[in-house]
Amino acid sequence: MATIVALSFHPAFTPPKSGGEERLYYVYKNLSSQYNIVLISFTYRNEDNSVQVEHHTTNFKEIRIPKTNISSTLHHIVSRYTSIKECSAIVTSIESRFNKNYRYIVEKELAQADAIIFVSPFLNTLPKHMLNKKTIVYEAYNNEYELMKSSFSHSILGKFLLYYVRHLERELSKRSDLIFTVSMEDRDSLRRTYGISEAKLALSPNGIPVTCYDTVLHNRKRSPRQPTCVFIGSYHPPNIEAIEHIVNIASQVPDVAFLVVGGASQYYVNHGEMVEPCIIRSVDTFSNQSSVTLSDGFYAIERWGDTPVIWTKPEWTLSTGGSVEEVSVILYSPSEQIITVTGGAAEKTTYNLTLGWNTVSVRAPSVQENTLQFMCEKVLTDSGRTLGVAVKELRYCNGENWNQLNIMDSTGQTFRFKQARNVYLLGQVSEEEKFAIYKTADVALNPMTSGSGTNIKVLGYLASGIPLITTSKGARGLALVNNENAIICNISDFPGKIRDVLKDNNLATSLANNGRQLVEEIYDWSNITSDMAEKINKLLQDG
């Protein structure tokens, strides 16, 4: 059995939380039925700079390399001197040139490999001697240079980084024996930009594990309370722009709730002047929200091994209901410091934290609603984020009963826009939460106006049987037919089309059924990866 080493700037977290993670996991999981797969990826910093090994299947091993201070320093520089919203791929690319763990592990694994796959161009930073006599495959999610051009061209530093991306992408395109693109549009774009021979280009569309959505499809029901539209998007500039469009759309249909899921909402939470913490009561999925909520100053959830944690900003806030008498938090402090809590029964209390795990307990006054504000003495900067502490566990006492808040449950940390109070930001959610939202969503939205590649989120909507409204940009690379398996229209038409779907059951049912049929026929991962394996096998045999 041949061995393939794949390089990715981000991990294949499971269950996947974004379209990129989903593609990464399912492509290599399915390919592992025919090859030994070693995926080498970068992940969050950890306490002792230890490399993590994850065995996804018998033949699919992932080695995760923790980032170092290099990444946090570069993020700080980019955020300070440019208006670039997201640059983690480029930052990780630069880090890969200096990270000793990464260089050692790649060289060791490549010595036993028959082929190497670059998942996007960003890790095309290896010296040429490492790639001698190796079959080289390039998985091109996008034309990265063209995708980044508009957001990176407004500063000297941004233009330098853009030139750097063009160099990586051009050299990898020339060096590769086979290039997979996710759409015909991307194939043509790469050919125009870099003069690539058509003979080494092949289509590998984004897909979806269709049967995983069967439970959603067969248990869908309309919400008896308030109609809902859903949008899901990772922390990616085109998704952040799409949320801006949703805010404008929502103002024209105020009787509908708009649920924004995924990392893109974190951009607005981090720029808190536009949003406010809230509790959702009008949507069934959130009607039983906890008595304690993570109301402000929190980042997206992440995992330290098997342990879920949430980093806070240096100042963070919990909101409690009137029945809550005490709150106990287990948190990690990256240094010895003092944390000050205001709003508790003693009004102002200080706690001495040691380096490592600490427990902080605060008495809450019995009022209808209360806010507990935490202020850390010291600030840590990492990957462009200003950090306080990391919360692992939160418990609260109602009378004699202690309850635990599930920090993986997004209902404990929800926000809404101040100017569009029917647009709710839910952040990262678990697979179970996402499916619960999809079961009751009346309409799925994809108001994209920029970006390249194809949107995996669209396939999730269709597999779930949710009627879809999308722009032509959001439908790019997919075999969607207007008014058959989706409504394809301009942003300005979204409010009217949402009303049409909500009032016309026949239209909604037709869109849902035809959309599901489309993903079953064309976009199931097992079919896509079988075709990829056939082309890789031919390369290996010819070589």
* pLDDT tens-digit map of 377-419: 998 887 677 899 999 999 888 777 788 887 766 555 678 898 8
* pLDDT tens-digit map of 422-453: 999 988 777 888 898 999 999 999 999 987 66
330 and 370 co-located in one domain? yes
Q: According to the model, what pLDDT value does residue 322 have? A: 63
336 and 472 co-located in one domain? no
State mean pLDDT over 329-339. 93
Q: Give the pLDDT band (50/70/90) at residue 210.
A: very high
400 and 507 co-located in one domain? no
324 and 379 co-located in one domain? yes
Q: According to the model, what pLDDT value does residue 329 have? A: 94
440 and 509 co-located in one domain? yes
State mean pLDDT over 308-328. 84
User: Look-up: residue for tokens 């997919």?
Assistant: 478
Q: According to the model, what pLDDT value does residue 385 have? A: 79
Query: In 3-state terms, the chain is what percent helix, strand and coil (to 5)?
Result: 35, 30, 35
Residue 38 has pLDDT above 70, yes or no: yes
* pLDDT tens-digit map of 449-489: 987 667 889 999 999 999 999 999 999 888 999 999 999 99
146 and 186 co-located in one domain? yes
Give me the chain's average pLDDT, please: 89
| Ranges assigned E (strand) in 157-266 | 178-181, 201-203, 228-232, 257-261
Supply the Cα-derived Rg of the chain in whole angstroms.
Answer: 24
Tokens in use for 423?
Answer: 């647009």
State mean pLDDT over 124-149. 92
Residue 273 has pLDDT above 80, yes or no: no
Instruction: Answer with the one of 364, 386, 407 that is the final residue of a domain.
Output: 407
Given a contact cutoff of 8 angstroms between Cβ atoms, the answer to whether 326 and 362 are in contact is yes
Name the residue range of residue 117's domain: 3-207+525-542
Q: What distance in Å separates the CA atoms of residue 189 and residue 45, rounded to the nearest whole number? A: 35
Tokens in use for 276?
Answer: 């406010």
Phi, psi at 203, each rounded to 5°: -90, 130
Instruction: Answer with the one of 392, 407, 422 that is the final residue of a domain.
Output: 407
Phi, psi at 104, each rounded to 5°: -65, -45
Instruction: Find how far residue 95's CA is from the centre of its chain.
Output: 21
* CATH number of the domain encompassing residue 303: 2.60.120.260
397 and 427 co-located in one domain? no
Q: According to the model, what pLDDT value does residue 508 have? A: 96
* CATH number of the domain encompassing residue 66: 3.40.50.2000
99 and 123 co-located in one domain? yes
Q: How many domains does the chain have?
A: 3
pTM here is 0.67
Q: According to the model, what pLDDT value does residue 106 have? A: 97
